[in-house]
Structure 1
Amino acid sequence: MRRLTLALFVSLACMVTSTVAAQMQVPAGNRHVEQPAIPGASAKRTKAGKTTFDVKYEKVIELLATDRQLMSKIKKTAADYGIDPIHIVGAIVGEHTYNVDAYDRLQSYYVKAASYAGSSFSFSYKDESIKQFVARPEFSECGNLSDSYLLWTCREMVWEKSFRGKSVAGKSYPNNRFSAVFFQPFYAGQTFGLGQINPLTALMMSDMVAAKSRYPRLDENDAAGVYKAIMEPDISLAYMAAVLRKSIDDYRSIAGMDISHNPGLTATLFNVGSSLQRARALAHKNAGSAEPVWPEENYYGWLVNDRLDELKALL
C-alpha cells in the first residue's frame, strides 16, 4: 500500500468533509475465487484452543441465531449509524471465527466486562505515559486536528515514521504497531469484547460514538474507561458500527466507491483498519487506470461474502 505522508494527511484532513461527485458501486461478492491465505497467527491461536475455524464459526452463528436480545441491539445500533446490520453481523462472525471463540450468551460478555471494573492500569511504554509521549515535538503536525479519528490516525502515522523500531533521544522503541506498544497493558495482540476492538481504534472513534450514541468521549489517560467501552456489549456495538460507518464514508469520499453493499469489504476493513489510508491508496491506483480497480476482500471478508445468505437469514 502506498503510504500517506504526514503533510498529505494533514492536508487531506482539512478536506475530510468533501465528497467525490461520481461514486461507483463496488460489485457484490468476492473478487477472489478461493479464500485468501489465513494468517499463521490465527491458525496457531485456533489450534492452541483445541478447536477449528468451522467449530468457532458454528458457535458464533449459534449465539447470533438464539440470542434475540443481541440481535435486537445489533439492529438498533446499525440504524443509529445508518448502516445495514449485516455489516455488524459480518464483523462479529469474522472476529469470532478467526480471533477468539464466542461466548454462549450475551450475558457472559457483561460479566467479563465487569471483571475489569475498578482495575488500575494505564496506557504507557515502560516509564513513559501516552500523555507524555504524544507531547513530544514529533507530534506537532497533529496539533491542529481536533477530530478524534483524524488526531489518532495522525499520531499513529507519526509513530510509524519517527519512532517504530528507532532510538529517539536515547530511548529505543520496538518495531511494532503503535496500538501494541502503548495500548495493550496486559499482553501483546489483545483485543476484547464482542467487537474485539483495540483501545487505539476506540480512541479514534470516540467523537463519532459520542455524537451518535451519546456515550462519554474517551480519554487516553483513563485506560479503565477505554476498556469499559470496548468490553461492555452495548457500547462495544456502537464502536463497531462507528468503525464500519467510517470505512464506508472514507471509501465514498476519498476513493469514490460505494462499498456499503459489500459486507465482505467492510468486514475486511474492520479487520485490517486504516480505511482512510487504504481509500487514498485505491484512489491513487484508479487515477492511472482505464478500468476500475476494485477493492479486494481478505480471508476474513471472503468468509463473510461466501456465507452471506446464511448470515442474512439471521436478521
Structure 2
Amino acid sequence: MTALVAGTPAVAVTVADRPVPERSTAGLLAELRRLYRQTEAATEAYNATGEELDRQRARVRRLDRRLAAARRSLRDGRTAAGLLARQQYRSRTDLSPYLRLLLASDPRQALDQGHVIRRVSLERAATVARLTGGERRADALAGKARRALDAQLSLAGRRAAQRDGVRKRLRGVEELLASIGDEELGRIAALEREEAAGAQRRLLASGALDGVRPPTEGGAAALGYAVRQLGKPYAWGAAGPDAYDCSGLTSRAWAHAGRAVPRTSQEQWARLPRVPLGRLRPGDLVVYFPEATHVAVYLGDGLVLHAPRPGAEVKVSPLAANPVLGAVRPDPEERPLARARYTPPELPEGALDGPDDGYGGN
C-alpha cells in the first residue's frame, strides 16, 4: 500500500453522510486502490463461479440426456417383459420335458423343440436381467441428476450473492469518488502516474526486460485482437465484444487465437506455465498483485494492454503500472515467429494517453 508523502495536502471527505477524518492525497490514493483491488477480487470470484456454473449446467444437461435414454430403454424393456409374460402364460404346461419327449410322435422334433424352448428361456432370463439392470441404472442416474441440479442451484445462488458483493464494493468506490473534489482527484491521479513512472524506471533499469523477442503465431493473433479492443469500456464480469474486465479481455484474446485459457486471472496464474519477465514475448500474460487479481497482455517494449478498472477503458500502460506478481505463457510449446515475419501491431493515436485510474466514475 502507498506510504504517505510528506507535504501532501490533507482533505476532509464525507462518505455515505459520514464524515471521514482528513487524509493526505497519498492516503486517499491508498484507499481507492484498496477498494479497487477488493472490487476486482470480488469480480474474479464472480467470474470463477460463473465458469463453474457453466460446467455444472453442461453436466446437468448430459445427465438429463443419459437419464432420458435410460428411461426409454427401461420402457422398451418393460414392454418386452410383458410380451414374454403373456407368451409364457399361453405356452404353460404341466408336463415335464421328459414326458413330452416320451409322448412325442417324433422324438427328434421334440428334441429340436426343446432346444428352441431352452433358447427362449435364456432370452427371457436375459430380458429380465436387462430390465433389472435398466431400473438400477435409471435410479442411479436420477439420483445423480438430482444432485447435479442441486449443485447448479447452489452455484447460481452463490453467484448472485457475489454479484451483490461486487455492486456493494463499486458503490463504495463511487461514494468515495463523489466525496472528493476535482482538484484533489487531479492530485491523486498525478501521484499515481508519478509512482507508476518510478516503478517503470526501476524495472527498466534492472534489465529485466532487455532483449526483443517475437511472439508465436498465436501470441501475435491474441495481441492483434487485444489491440482492436482499445478504447472499449471496462465492465465487471464482461468478456466482450462491447466491454471487458481484465481477464475477460485476456481470455477472449487467446480464444480468438485458437487457444482456450482459464477465464479468471487467478486461474490463469495458477494453471498456465510461468515465464520470467526477462523472457517475455508479445502475447504473454502479466499478472498483478499478490492475490493475482489483475492481468494484462504483454505488448512489448515494456508495455502491456489491459482493461484497468471500472470507469476506465481498454488501453496501453507501462508494465509496472501495477505491482507485478509474474507472467504466464498460454503457448509455451509453440516456436516464436522469425523476427523478419513479425511486425508489431500499429497502435491508434492516444493508446497510451487514456486514463489508467478510472476516477471519472462509471
TM-score w.r.t. length of structure 2: 0.23
Tell me which protein shows more strand as a share of its residues: 2
Greater length-normalized contact order (CA 8 Å, ≥ 6 residues apart): 1
TM-score w.r.t. length of structure 1: 0.26
